[in-house]
Amino acid sequence: MARFRPEPYPAPEHDSHTGVLLVTLGTPEAPTAKALRPWLRQFLSDPRVVELPRLIWQPILNGIILTTRPARSAEKYASIWTAEGSPLKVHTNRLAALLDDSLNQEQGNGDIIVACAMRYGSPSIVDTLTDLRARATRILVVPLYPQFAGSTTGSVLDEVALAMRTWRNLPELRFVRSFHDDPGYIAALAASVREHWAQHGQGDCLVASFHGQPVRTNKLGDPYRAECLTTARLLREALALPPEALRVTFQSRFGCGKWLEPHTLPTLESLAASGVKRVDVVCPGFVADCLETLEEIAILCRDAFLARGGEAFHAISCLNSRPEWVNALDGLVRWHLVGWV
């Protein structure tokens, strides 16, 4: 049973202040095995991510995975790490700062406070929410996952609830469930593809690669696959492409269970073997470049495509902090803040 602690902070000075919490998956603090081990432990211990009984999974996690995977993952992170740090954290912090400026430019008094947190890693959801509640009586939580999945958005909501479990004075709370069909998000995606084509030319095929998910979760009612397909269709329509010009695939398989198909890497290899010379890959499920886009797609998949006879491979950058994406997120947040601001 939860124990309700004394309030660690006084009530906010200004009742009009509203907090906006952007939440992304997270990243280790450094591209090292030492930093990867606790991060992977937190990530893979989430029952939303690995839906196995703890008595079965924990010995596998602690006895096998955490003794072998951190070093391999560290090499991958090292290949995409920047002088500023993790690309995911850099882009998310930049997005939060730009969104804060955008939301407050009319009022000019900082009534809306934008913060960002990592579901796994630092800054944590618990710490960031605790800081926000000292300054705001209303909080909008925005998981930066366009398509809803229990393992992503659902997990964020779990952690938010856990953070507030022992609070006495609760803030008003709202959530953005998903934005897979939001017009601003689709327009920003289309703009990023058009800009890439304007600079580099258009390939023979556009592949939209989404993060994978076990088929079992889809059968149990998770709407993720359907929302991915909706996003891809809307993007194709915005680009005025015929149905055959865009392929939907799923990447980042983990474990030995059956995952959503078609898989990205085999699809790219097949395209190259069939005579496709140039391919462009966009990742609509990731709003910021990260390990999955910069290493798995831009390095691993590129090498596989070229090895099978392809001649040109282009990974289109994620939305990151593009002006169109900042504007789209501004509109999405304002819509969800109606009645508060």
User: Bridge-partner residues for 115, per DSSP?
Assistant: 21
pLDDT at 257: 83
For the entire predicted model, the pTM comes to: 0.94
Question: What mean pLDDT do residues 129-150 have?
Answer: 96
pLDDT confidence bin for 105, thresholds 50/70/90: confident
Q: Does pLDDT of 136 surpass 70?
A: yes
| HSE-CB of 41 using CA atoms within 13 angstroms | 12
C-alpha 319/C-alpha 326 separation (Å) is: 9
Kindly write down the DSSP assignment for every residue of 126-155, as one continuous string: HHHHHHHHTT-SEEEEEES-SS--IIIIIH
Q: Tell me how far the alpha carbon of residue 160 is from its chain's centroid.
A: 17
Question: What mean pLDDT do residues 201-224 have?
Answer: 96
Report whether 202 contacts 316 (CB < 8 A).
no
Q: Does pLDDT of 7 surpass 80?
A: no
pLDDT at 2: 55
Which two tokens mark 292? Answer: 């999955």
Q: Does pLDDT of 96 surpass 60?
A: yes
pLDDT confidence bin for 11, thresholds 50/70/90: low
Question: What mean pLDDT do residues 175-187 have?
Answer: 98
Question: What mean pLDDT do residues 311-339 have?
Answer: 97
Continuous segment of H or E residues that includes residue 209: strand 205-211
User: Bridge-partner residues for 113, per DSSP?
Assistant: 19
Question: What mean pLDDT do residues 170-191 have?
Answer: 97
Torsion sign (Cα): 278, 186, 284, 224: negative
pLDDT confidence bin for 199, thresholds 50/70/90: very high
pLDDT at 110: 63
Which two tokens mark 56? Answer: 């079965």
C-alpha 113/C-alpha 158 separation (Å) is: 22
Q: Does pLDDT of 108 surpass 70?
A: no
Mean pLDDT over each residue of the chain, to the nearest integer: 94
Continuous segment of H or E residues that includes residue 281: strand 278-282
Question: What mean pLDDT do residues 229-241 have?
Answer: 98
Q: Does pLDDT of 12 surpass 80?
A: no
Q: Does pLDDT of 8 surpass 80?
A: no
pLDDT digits (tens, 9 = 90+) for 240-288: 999 999 999 999 988 778 999 999 999 999 999 999 999 999 999 999 9
pLDDT at 118: 98
Nearest C-alpha neighbor of 21 from the set 168, 131, 102, 183:
131
pLDDT confidence bin for 15, thresholds 50/70/90: low
Torsion sign (Cα): 143, 48, 71, 36: positive
Question: What mean pLDDT do residues 321-337 have?
Answer: 97
Which two tokens mark 113? Answer: 């406070």
pLDDT digits (tens, 9 = 90+) for 290-307: 999 999 999 999 999 999
Q: Tally the residues of the chain.
A: 341
pLDDT at 325: 98
Q: Specify the pairing of strand 312-315 against strand 278-282.
A: parallel
Q: Does pLDDT of 107 surpass 90?
A: no
